[in-house]
DNA sequence: TACGACTCTGGGAGCGCTCTCAGAAGGAGC
DNA sequence: GCTCCTTCTGAGAGCGCTCCCAGAGTCGTA
């Protein structure tokens, strides 16, 4: 960072105190809520603050309070999926809103590459932020462990893989229960050869959804389980492979909406009717995906923005000491949204 | 923000100095680069830093240096388009990368609503960041003026509307030149009734593209100019209206890819062939949009991530005093990417 | 009227760091 | 061997704020 251009030096507490004819301590009290100060003085100080355009110096304040009023959001996804998977957009929006409500700032930390974890750890340990929010990613990711080892309280979005480090609080939706809802719906429609387009095996959300699929279809034919990676392309490809292998399939539960959209593309290309020939259910209820599918996608809805907000609330409780790491995680419920595709 | 949980108190400069058997000043010098310190002492200090796990206290440092190593990114879009329009994603990615290279942090400020500008202004004046990056939005937006009035050097992404406040440096692509490229290409293809699906009139990028369109088609029939708002839906709608009004149209230049994608949808629904009956050109070369259109979209490419990086570089130069507000703006060039749609 | 019990206010220390400035150490030149 | 210059180092002040603690002021009660 370059030098700061010499900004006009702003008024200090001292100046306000002089103007109002009181001491620094009194001004400080007023600025921080005014408890225990006579109303007349409060007014006088407020006036002086107004006239001088006083704004507290944040660095000085946090030097003594050891609080920063800022929370880091750590994004460790490989670049291509970051925001294009609208998941993050919504989650970050919820986080941003809730942080604003708590009068805290959002500092975005973006992992630039595999060698970049050190920078993140250093930043967290540097005492810039009061807490951190991170997204649980791949089970082989070093990040959760690194973060947990840092001195900064952290809440995860998505359940971290078991064994990826010490217990950390997280917010996640009921992936397994949601998957059960989806598959039961297909069963209720009378479908009998229900396939699952699974998400990547190193993410707990994908694994939980597979587990939910098996909860309902205990004896599911392994041939009906196809591997994808949460991208639209992988959904299209997995669907194609599935059709080649098992042309008799009559329903598909995709692990997310993007893969479901890919599957729909393949089905359309092959002239297979949805839902008449094959019913399709997604997961997420991603507005920007669901809006454009043909036919409209039946899917499992999770409240992603709400989860973002919950992450912040949970973090605040941890910072307050009102919640502790191991026991405080939050699981949100899902609901099936019925549209045309199933 | 709640109280910070009592973190284990971290070692200070003092502690490192004691450990290494030198003074605080010497440790400070070493930590900040080690210039003018004998190698033997440098090694000794480095060792002590390592052993104690010393990390400088940021608040204390910026209290005296008046630098923060942080830059605010201000996002003032109405929520729905924020990241879903991948424009922001790419721009923010470029910004993030370049800030990392400059060892600066990204603080994300998100305008939550019309009444929220005060909070942003207060934050900027609060001296948390060295500079700010903002996106030029609607000409009636109060934000640019507010930001310009704050004490924080700011660079805009996109040319701010004239009269929206004092001159500020900005980074933008050559919207007008890009539009000319697009329209000339259509002319070169032999198209004669070339329509323009324009973006919102309160954004300079849309206006500049309209101007570029008119540069080439000086006598363009006003009926061929349709209004949209940069969304996919508006593109679909505008295309439909255009077809109703002027069924003889043989080419369309859309002000962005999203609108072009909407137009393609309408054309497909009506059974009109692209490019045989109507050629379509977009603007942006948004990967996530372009990837899925049918047929593949010919468009004007702008290097959005690069523009993000340039914004940071420009800001750094302003902070260095090497560039001043009025004269330093950067205009990047565009190029036509030929695919199937025109 | 006097005294104790509160309520307010201000002085002062100190958070951890940087940076100036003076003095110590080391080397060169005579 | 002594002086002068250069290179390093450390003492100390101070950034702007909070918060502890002591003292001043106010009020009610005996």
CA–C1' B44–D2 (A) = 34
Structure tokens given for B234:
């508006």
> Is the backbone peptide bond immediately before A295 cis, with ω within 30 degrees of 0?
yes
> What are the respective helix, strand and coil percentages of chain A, to the nearest 5?
45, 15, 40
Cα A118 to Cα A222: distance, rounded to the nearest angstrom: 41
Q: In which region does residue A150 sit, left (phi positive, over 0), alpha (psi from -120 to 50) or beta (all else)?
A: beta
Nearest CA in chain B to A2: B320
Query: How far is CA B311 from its chain centroid?
Result: 8
| Mean pLDDT of the region B34-55 | 87
CB A160 within 8 A of CB A329: no
Query: Could you give phi then psi for residue A210, rounded to 5 degrees?
Result: -60, -45
| Mean pLDDT of the region A194-217 | 96
Of B168, B200, B191, B177, nearest in space to B323 by CA: B168
DSSP-derived 3-state class of residue A280: strand
Nearest CA in chain B to A91: B83
Pairwise CB contact (< 8 Å): A320 & B10: no
CB count in 10 Å sphere of residue A114: 9
Q: In which region does residue B92 sit, left (phi positive, over 0), alpha (psi from -120 to 50) or beta (all else)?
A: alpha
Cα A54 to Cα A11: distance, rounded to the nearest angstrom: 6
CB B187 within 8 A of CB B216: yes
**Which nucleotide is closest to the Cα of A11 by its C1'?**
D16
CA–C1' B40–D4 (A) = 27
Structure tokens given for B167:
């001159």
Does A97 contact B at CB distance below 8 Å? yes
Chain A residues with CB-CB distance to B58 below 8 A:
126-128
The yes-or-no verdict on residue A3 having pLDDT over 50 is no
Residues linked to residue A155 through DSSP beta bridges, in sequence order: A133
pLDDT of residue A37: 83
**Which one is the CATH code of A70-173+305-334: 3.40.47.10, 3.90.1530.10, 3.40.50.2300, 3.40.50.920?**
3.40.50.2300
**Which one is the CATH code of A13-65: 1.10.3210.10, 3.30.56.10, 1.10.287.3510, 1.10.260.40?**
1.10.260.40
Sheet holding A105-110, edge to edge: A330-332, A170-173, A154-157, A131-135, A70-75, A105-110, B105-110, B70-75, B131-135, B154-157, B170-173, B330-332
Cα A339 to Cα A279: distance, rounded to the nearest angstrom: 11
Query: Could you give phi then psi for residue B244, rounded to 5 degrees?
Result: -65, -40
> What are the respective helix, strand and coil percentages of chain B, to the nearest 5?
45, 15, 40
Cα B231 to Cα A311: distance, rounded to the nearest angstrom: 31
Handedness of CA B310, B313, B319, B322 (dihedral sign): negative
pTM over cut 0.85: no
Nearest CA in chain A to B53: A125
A232-236, B4-8, B11-15, B32-36 — which is least confidently predicted?
Answer: B4-8
CB A134 within 8 A of CB A144: yes
DSSP A165: S
Q: Which helix (H) or strand (E) holds B212?
A: helix B204-216
How far from each other are the two terminal CA atoms of chain B, in whole angstroms? 55
Pairwise CB contact (< 8 Å): A83 & B86: yes
Chain B residues with CB-CB distance to A2 below 8 A:
316, 319-320
Cα A322 to Cα A337: distance, rounded to the nearest angstrom: 35
Of B212, B172, B185, nearest in space to B196 by CA: B212
Handedness of CA A30, A32, A33, A35 (dihedral sign): negative
pLDDT band at B5 (very low <50, low <70, confident <90, very high): very low
Cα B332 to Cα B157: distance, rounded to the nearest angstrom: 12
The yes-or-no verdict on residue A5 having pLDDT over 80 is no
Chain A residues with CB-CB distance to B130 below 8 A:
1, 4
Does A313 contact B at CB distance below 8 Å? no
Per DSSP, the residues of A79-141 read GGGTTTSHHHHHHHHHHHHHHHHTT-EEEEEE--SGGGHHHHHHHHHTT--SEEEEE---TT-
Cα A135 to Cα A329: distance, rounded to the nearest angstrom: 14
Cα A321 to Cα A328: distance, rounded to the nearest angstrom: 11
Chain B residues with CB-CB distance to A288 below 8 A:
84
The yes-or-no verdict on residue A6 having pLDDT over 80 is no
Rg, C-alpha atoms of chain A: 26
| Mean pLDDT of the region A292-305 | 93
Nucleotides of chain D touched by protein CB (<7 A): 7-20
Q: In which region does residue B127 sit, left (phi positive, over 0), alpha (psi from -120 to 50) or beta (all else)?
A: left
How many residues in chain B?
A: 342
Residues 16-35 of B with CB under 7 A from strand C: 24-25, 28, 31-32
| Mean pLDDT of the region A102-128 | 82
A45-54, B75-84, B147-156, B314-323 — which is least confidently predicted?
Answer: B75-84
Digit-coded pLDDT (tens) for A230-246:
989 999 999 999 999 99
Cα B126 to Cα B117: distance, rounded to the nearest angstrom: 14
Digit-coded pLDDT (tens) for B215-270:
999 999 999 999 999 989 999 999 999 999 999 999 999 999 999 999 999 999 99
- Decide yes or no: CATH 3.40.50.2300 for domain B175-302: yes
B59-63, B80-84, B313-317 — which is least confidently predicted?
Answer: B80-84
The yes-or-no verdict on residue A84 having pLDDT over 70 is no
Exposure string for A80-112, b = 16+ CB within 10 A, e = fewer: eebbbbbbbbbbbbbbbbbbbebebbbbbbbbb
Query: How far is CA B104 from its chain centroid?
Result: 17
B38 touches strand D (CB under 7 A): yes
Q: Which residue is nearest to nucleotide D15 (CA to C1')?
A: B64
* Cβ-nearest to A106 among B59, B60, B108: B108
Q: CB-side exposure of B72: number of CA atoms within 13 Å?
A: 27
Q: Any residues with CB less than 8 A from the CB of B230 and at least 6 apart, and which?
A: B81, B85, B199, B200, B203, B206, B255, B256, B258, B259
Fold matches, A70-173+305-334 and A175-302: yes
B56 touches strand C (CB under 7 A): yes
CB A286 within 8 A of CB A258: yes
Where exactly are the structural domains of chain B? 13-65, 70-173+305-334, 175-302
A111-115, A266-270, B75-79 — which is least confidently predicted?
Answer: B75-79
To the nearest 10°, the Cα dihedral for A236, A239, A245, A247? Answer: -120
- Which of residues B12 and A324 earns the better pLDDT score? B12
Cα B4 to Cα A56: distance, rounded to the nearest angstrom: 20
CB A160 within 8 A of CB A320: no
pLDDT of residue B6: 37
Cα A314 to Cα A302: distance, rounded to the nearest angstrom: 18
Nucleotides of chain C touched by protein CB (<7 A): 7-20
Task: Return the percentage of chain A with pLDDT > 70, whole number.
Answer: 91
Residue linked to tokens 């929010």: A133
B69 touches strand C (CB under 7 A): no
* Cβ-nearest to A67 among B4, B62, B122: B4
Cα A253 to Cα A176: distance, rounded to the nearest angstrom: 13
Of A268, A288, A302, A285, nearest in space to A338 by CA: A285
The yes-or-no verdict on residue B304 having pLDDT over 70 is yes
Cα A274 to Cα A297: distance, rounded to the nearest angstrom: 10
């Amino acid at each position: 960072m370059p030098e700061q251009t010499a900004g006009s030096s702003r008024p200090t507490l001292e100046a306000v105190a002089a103007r109002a004819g009181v001491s620094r301590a009194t001004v400080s009290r007023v600025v921080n809520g005014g408890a225990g100060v006579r109303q007349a003085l409060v007014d006088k100080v407020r006036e002086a603050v107004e006239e001088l355009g006083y704004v507290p110096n944040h660095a000085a304040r946090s030097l003594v309070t050891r609080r920063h009023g800022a929370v880091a959001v750590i994004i460790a996804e490989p670049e291509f999926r970051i925001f294009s998977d609208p998941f993050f957009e919504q989650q970050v929006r919820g986080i941003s809103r809730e942080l604003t409500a708590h009068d805290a700032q959002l500092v975005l930390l973006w992992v630039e590459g595999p060698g970049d974890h050190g920078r993140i750890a250093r930043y967290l340990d540097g005492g810039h932020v009061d807490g951190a929010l991170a997204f649980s990613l791949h089970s082989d990711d070093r990040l959760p462990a690194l973060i947990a080892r840092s001195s900064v309280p952290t809440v995860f979005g998505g359940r971290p893989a078991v064994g990826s480090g010490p217990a950390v609080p997280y917010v996640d939706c009921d992936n397994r229960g949601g998957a059960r809802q989806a598959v039961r719906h297909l069963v209720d429609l009378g479908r009998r050869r229900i396939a699952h387009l699974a998400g990547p095996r190193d993410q707990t959300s994908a694994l939980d959804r597979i587990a939910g699929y098996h909860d309902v279809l205990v004896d599911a034919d392994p041939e009906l389980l196809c591997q994808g990676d949460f991208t639209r392309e992988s959904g299209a490809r997995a669907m194609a492979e599935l059709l080649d292998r098992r042309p008799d399939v009559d329903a598909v539960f995709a692990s997310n909406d993007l893969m479901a959209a890919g599957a729909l593309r393949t089905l359309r290309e092959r002239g297979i009717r949805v839902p008449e020939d094959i019913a399709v259910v997604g997961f997420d209820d991603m507005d920007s995906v669901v809006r454009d599918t043909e036919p409209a996608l039946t899917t499992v809805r999770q409240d992603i923005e709400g989860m973002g907000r919950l992450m912040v609330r949970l973090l605040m409780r941890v910072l307050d000491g009102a919640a502790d790491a191991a026991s405080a995680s939050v699981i949100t419920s899902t609901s099936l949204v019925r549209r045309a595709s199933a």
